[in-house]
Amino acid sequence: MAGTWKAARAHADDITEADARTALQQLDPLWDELFPAEQARIVALLVERVDISTDGLNVRLRVDGLSGLAREMLAGGIEAAA
């Protein structure tokens, strides 16, 4: 995640790497409780492109989406659909 965070830093002066890590750790146990539409929205925020080839899988993340998700998670904006 460190390489991704270096790229994201230009988009997120107010979110630290520790903030992003904390937000993603909070998302893991919550994931199965979210509605599919909310799961899709989060994936769209985080993933720019996925390339599959015979050599493997390449996932390009949206660095601005990572900081935005971290900001939203820390503010309590994503809640379980219980």
pLDDT bin (cut points 50, 70, 90) of residue 78 is low
Task: Give 3-14 pLDDT, tens digit per residue.
Answer: 554 555 555 556
Task: Please state the pTM of the whole predicted model.
Answer: 0.57
CA distance 27 to 11: 21
Q: Residue 64's closest CA among 26, 20, 12?
A: 12
Task: Give 7-57 pLDDT, tens digit per residue.
Answer: 555 555 566 777 777 777 877 888 888 899 988 988 888 888 999 999 999
